[in-house]
Amino acid sequence: MDCEARTVQRGVRATAGSLALRPRLPSRWPAPAAPRVAGAPTPPLLLRRCACRVAASRDATPASALIEESLDHRAALCDSGLPDPDMCLIPEAEEEPPPHVPIAAEALSRGRWLVGLMAAQSLSSIILDRYSDLLREHLVITLFLTMLVGAGGNAGNQSSIKVIRGLATGALDTSDACIRATLAEQAAVGVLLGGALSAAGFARVFLTNGSLANSSAIGLSVLGIVSSSCLLGSGLPFMLARAGVDPANAGTSIQVVMDVLGVAITCATCDLVLGQLAGSMG
């Protein structure tokens, strides 16, 4: 029996079970090619497959050689057009639909988290009340307060998204070494971003207000807010992951944290800078 005949015979045996389990394709598929006539020259493709199989079987174990032969036979049959075309199709894995979550259960799960964030965000009112005299005397702080806390929330959200994506793809993990390296990297990035945004904030306030003292206070506040937000934004997903909470919640959490922390940093920095300048001028 020549090489081609052995290929066809073994290939049919190896794929007989899979043919019985596969659905038939519509009749629009072309009819399979007729079997080759005995004595006809063997196609070069089958000759190459036979040679490769013989060479591989010399070094392969019996189990691996059997698997390799089965795949080789199936590919040879598909290329030659001898079998029905449906045996050459590889069935795709059926994707399971996502589990259905009742609307009430989803609202309850999200509502508990949002209530906690709202309660935490209300702490900013305590800070503003503490520095009410400063805010009345320097109205420019109130005018640019949303810009300051917004810059912190945006920078922190960028860092948290990077860490969340890394945890989801496996590029990052919750080991101590990985956390330290990530925090060090984001701290350096935060300083660079804080310096750039600080200069931009200084220019923005100076062009509008014209006061060097107010511009300096706002610029230094931006530096402190952005630097701390990058560090906290990268660390919060790790904290949630270690606590068994979905790290994706860090995106909304960092916004609330930086709202409160941004107000505190702004009020403390402006009180220090403007108080020092007022004392030196007096």
CA 190 – CA 264 distance, rounded (Å): 18
User: Could you tell me if residue 131 is inside a domain?
Assistant: yes
- The more confident residue out of 17 and 214 is 214
Which runs of consecutive H residues, i.e. helices, occur in the chain? 3-21, 44-59, 62-80, 103-121, 123-130, 132-137, 139-143, 145-169, 176-209, 212-242, 250-281
Does residue 163 share a domain with residue 263? yes
Report, as an integer, the average pLDDT of 13-36.
Answer: 46
Query: Rounded to a whole number, what is the largest CA-CA distance in the chain?
Result: 112
User: What does pLDDT average to over the chain?
Assistant: 76
Residue positions counted in the chain: 282
> Do 234 and 160 contact (CB within 8 A), yes or no?
yes
Token pair 């305590």 is found at 126
Give residue 8's identity as a one-letter amino acid code.
Answer: V
Does residue 79 share a domain with residue 131? no
Q: How many domains would you assign to the chain? A: 2
Q: What is the pTM of this model?
A: 0.62
79 phi/psi in degrees, rounded to 5: -70, -35
pLDDT of res. 64: 55
The CATH number that applies at residue 252 is 1.10.357.20
173 phi/psi in degrees, rounded to 5: -140, 180
Does residue 172 share a domain with residue 78? no
User: Could you tell me if residue 135 is inside a domain?
Assistant: yes
pLDDT of res. 180: 95
User: Could you tell me if residue 95 is inside a domain?
Assistant: no
pLDDT of res. 193: 96
Does residue 138 share a domain with residue 73? no
User: Could you tell me if residue 243 is inside a domain?
Assistant: yes
Does residue 26 surpass a pLDDT of 50? no
User: Could you tell me if residue 101 is inside a domain?
Assistant: no
> Do 234 and 259 contact (CB within 8 A), yes or no?
no
Does residue 47 surpass a pLDDT of 90? no
CA 255 – CA 176 distance, rounded (Å): 25
User: Could you tell me if residue 69 is inside a domain?
Assistant: yes
pLDDT of res. 279: 58
